Chains A and B, each alone.
Chain A
Amino acid sequence: MTMDRTISNFIRALRNADVRVSTAETLDALGAVELVGYRDKAYLKRSLATVLPKTVDEKDTFDACFDQFFDFQDVRGEHSDSDLKGDESEEQDGEDGESGDGEGGGSSGEEPKGKKKKSKSKAKKNNLYEEEEEADLGPGEITDPKSALGQLLMSNDRVELSMAMAAAGEATNVREIKIFTQKGLYSRRIMDAMGLADLNREIGDLRTSAQVPARRLGQQLKARRDFLREQTRDYVEKQFLLNADVTGKRLREELLRKIKLSNVEHRNFRLIQEIVYKMAKKLSALHSRRKKIFKRGALNVPRTLRHNMSYDGAIFDLHWKSVKVDRPKVFAICDVSGSVANYARFMLMFLYSLDEVMPKVRSFAFSSDLAEVTELFNRNKIEDAIAKTLRDYGGGSTDYGQALLDFKKNCLDDVDNRTTIIILGDARNNHGEAHAEVLKEIYDRSKRVIWLNPEAKLAWNTGDSEMRKYGAYSHQVEECNSLMHLERVVGNLLKQIA
């Protein structure tokens, strides 16, 4: 039962870290754990690595997560065991040195031992927590602890201890930890839940006890309590990393989807890019299926008859007319002047991330003069191409009229009734000539003209905005200023061209 809890907690941590784990896979993991057991950590890791993460990226995340989670969470591996043993033997050494009563004699010579003793006693003076009697107790008989936690600590059973801690963590809802200032609080609560109060009382009693074995136990318990405290802090730290940090990332992603793209700070570009790819992938998956359905067309009667002649005219072998869908075209015309540059950046990123399902995209950039940048995108990586486009064509004052005239001159002939034209811009023409009649011409020839305006609807048609004129010659006019809008627009676009 508790074993299952460990795994399900681990899976929760994995999910937090963006590894998708289904219920079926959780069951598989439990099956694997049953086979493999917790004893050999590397073996457990290898086993779970085949069951839970299903891509190479996920495997990396899994590795990191596993190391973090099982490092202390379930100190079943050798690592922590040996740690503890190391601690203990050190402790023993220290006591031998301090007591210096020949008990630990053996290999080490007299002189170094004397030196050791000296330095130790010096150190002792500075240490407020060390107490006199510590030195007097050699190893030997000790009494049994009474409190539950004491027994647990003395039993040296790492598995039990860590499970108790996990249970206490569960009881105190440590998974709800959200901000780092809560760490101390949760450590304290967990220790309390494990029975710290009883233990403290017992240690107090034992220390003042008259019997040496009891005092010895008190000493041991105290050392172990400190160890436990440290472990608890580690545990909480890990819970914090596993639970809070990622929710933070998710929150940030959620925010970034809705935020106005012009407000995105430069340091978040990477994250946005990730989101864009993720969204694009989702859309691709959705629409690549739709495309395939058209593969099989109507029955090709003559061909079928001809091929079935050898079967005495019985029709067995059917032949289909395959429908060849003409690849529609998408022209993206982007205003890359200062005010709209950021939107253009993300829209282009989006369009080009969709190359799997998106028909051929030709893109144009303008601030006053219009230029085709398709080649640039074909030759370079998306990010580089965008950067170059913005550098070369951005920055001027916008002139929509001129841009439309340029477009007409250069490629109106390529526009036909399968062409979808997306224009991204705020339609602020600096009071220049709008040349809406050019847009009308494009409108008449193309399948669709979609105008995406990053400004809020309220601001349209105010000041030098020519939205009303242009809007009249667009099939669709949309406000588009966040990733969410972009996703919706591109999704619709794919639906229409499929």
Chain B
Amino acid sequence: MGDIEKIAASVASLQESFEAHNYICSDQIATAVFLAYQLRKPILIEGPPGVGKTELAKTAAEMFALPLIRLQCYEGLDESKAIYEWKYGKQLLYTQVLKEALDEVLQGAKGFTESVKRLHEFGDIFFSEEFLEPRPLLKALKEENGCVLLIDEIDKADNEFESLLLEILSDYQVSIPEIGTIKAIAEPPMVFLTSNNTREISDALKRRCLHLYIPFPDSDIEQRIVAARIPEVPPELRRQLVEFIHELRTLDLKKQPAISETIDWARTLVLLHAEALDPKLVTDTLNVILKFQEDIENVTTEVNSITARITK
């Protein structure tokens, strides 16, 4: 616990620590994580795909040495998959097993009213925590030393699901009608939500979160990212390939290359023992960074001029 506090004591120490875990982050990102920790608030992360939104949560978990609990959102996700579910099978099995025992319990009971009364004495055994199957959200609350909870691609889930999240996000608790309210045991989880912005997230949810927008990084940071991830890339090639990607991002493409593509490309170039970019090499490996044939065709015509611009 002391470790976490030390790491999250200032923006600078956070940034350093992230870097030690091969995650190069901008001041803005580090500030957001710092505030999230200090204010005990969830962070909603938005940004184009592939800028390291999910990675941020994963790295944070690794850095703080906390377990990562991940909830992948999709259409139709509901409380039985996200928060909790009753163990129907176990309940059923127990009722079968206990059928015999029932006679003993009811022995000597006179009349229906008394029988029911006796049964009531057993309370709601079948709806106790024994029979509760915790799903990611509940699991995160029950984690004793705290954890990192990643709610990935929240925009893919339905509107209603957001409302389900509100309680856990603002008070770190879940209400289960049969049992009552379950609160976070010790340390509330650090919550990261990511969204690709395929739809607008509701105001109620946004209000409860800090908001972090991660854009494509500037060339400097991206070079450092590549250096951290694939140290084998020679510095000159690194500069060239990052700048090439930056040029591509200014073009009108169907899907712009993200950081993950930059890294893949760097890896590819290392495998090919490249020292510098040249038009042929670029053309041959374009399919690593561009995922649509249309984009590849458009860019192929430009490869010569872009390569010339950045290698000079």
Q: Which residues of A contact B (CB under 8 A)?
A: 20, 22, 24-25, 28, 31-32, 35-36, 42-43, 46-47, 49-51, 53-56, 59, 281, 285, 288-289, 292, 311-312, 314, 316-317
Within 8 A of A (CB), among B13-42: 27-28, 31-32, 34-35, 38-39, 41
B207 on the A face (CB < 8 A)? yes
If A31-B39, A50-B43 touch, does A56 touch B213 (CB 8 Å cutoff)? yes
A50 touches B210 (CB 8 A): yes
Interface 0/1 of B266-305, CB less than 8 Å to A:
0000000000000000000000000000000000000000
Q: Which one, B92, B200, B209, contacts A312 given CB within 8 A? A: B92
In terms of DSSP, what is the predominant structure of the interface of chain A?
Answer: helix
If A20-B203, A53-B211, A54-B211 touch, does A46 touch B28 (CB 8 Å cutoff)? yes
In Å, the complex CA distance between A312 and B93 comes to 10
B171 on the A face (CB < 8 A)? no
Q: Which residues of A contact B208 (CB under 8 A)?
A: 24
Q: Which one, B35, B95, B213, contacts A47 given CB within 8 A? A: B35
Q: Which residues of A contact B187 (CB under 8 A)?
A: none
B160 touches A51 (CB 8 A): no
In terms of DSSP, what is the predominant structure of the interface of chain B?
Answer: helix
* A-B residue pairs in contact (CB < 8 Å), sample of 6: A28-B41, A31-B39, A35-B34, A50-B35, A50-B43, A53-B211
* Other 15 A-B pairs with CB < 8 A, given A292-B158, A312-B92: A20-B203, A22-B207, A24-B208, A28-B210, A35-B34, A46-B32, A50-B31, A51-B210, A54-B206, A54-B211, A55-B206, A281-B200, A292-B159, A314-B92, A316-B92
Give the Cβ gap from A471 to chain B, nearest Cβ, in Å: 39
Q: Which residues of B contact A317 (CB under 8 A)?
A: 88
B28 touches A49 (CB 8 A): yes
Q: Which residues of A contact B35 (CB under 8 A)?
A: 32, 35-36, 47, 50-51
Q: Which residues of A contact B209 (CB under 8 A)?
A: 54
Q: Which residues of B contact A35 (CB under 8 A)?
A: 34-35, 38-39
B306 on the A face (CB < 8 A)? no
In Å, the complex CA distance between A226 and B203 comes to 47
Give the Cβ gap from A296 to chain B, nearest Cβ, in Å: 10
Q: Which one, A46, A47, A56, contacts B46 given CB within 8 A? A: A56
Q: Which residues of A contact B88 (CB under 8 A)?
A: 311, 316-317
B212 touches A50 (CB 8 A): yes
- Count B-side interface residues using an 8 Å CB cutoff: 30
Q: Which residues of B contact A312 (CB under 8 A)?
A: 92, 96
B210 touches A46 (CB 8 A): no
Q: Which residues of B contact A24 (CB under 8 A)?
A: 207-208
B11 on the A face (CB < 8 A)? yes
| A-B residue pairs, 4 tightest by C-beta | A54-B206, A46-B31, A50-B210, A50-B32
Q: Which residues of A contact B159 (CB under 8 A)?
A: 288-289, 292
In Å, the complex CA distance between A53 and B212 comes to 9
In Å, the complex CA distance between A346 and B149 comes to 46
Q: Which of A36, A47, A311 gathers the greatest number of chain B CB atoms within 10 Å?
A: A47
Q: Which residues of A contact B160 (CB under 8 A)?
A: 292
Q: Which of A49, A53, A288 gathers the greatest number of chain B CB atoms within 10 Å?
A: A49
In Å, the complex CA distance between A311 and B92 comes to 8
Q: Which one, B34, B39, B92, B96, contacts A28 given CB within 8 A? A: B39
Q: Which residues of B contact A50 (CB under 8 A)?
A: 28, 31-32, 35, 43, 210-212
Give the Cβ gap from A400 to chain B, nearest Cβ, in Å: 40
Q: Which residues of B contact A56 (CB under 8 A)?
A: 46, 213
In Å, the complex CA distance between A292 and B210 comes to 28
CB closest residue in chain B, given A32: B35
CB closest residue in chain A, given B86: A316
Q: Which residues of A contact B41 (CB under 8 A)?
A: 28
Within 8 A of A (CB), among B139-154: none
In Å, the complex CA distance between A51 and B41 comes to 10
In Å, the complex CA distance between A42 and B26 comes to 13
Q: Which residues of B contact A20 (CB under 8 A)?
A: 203
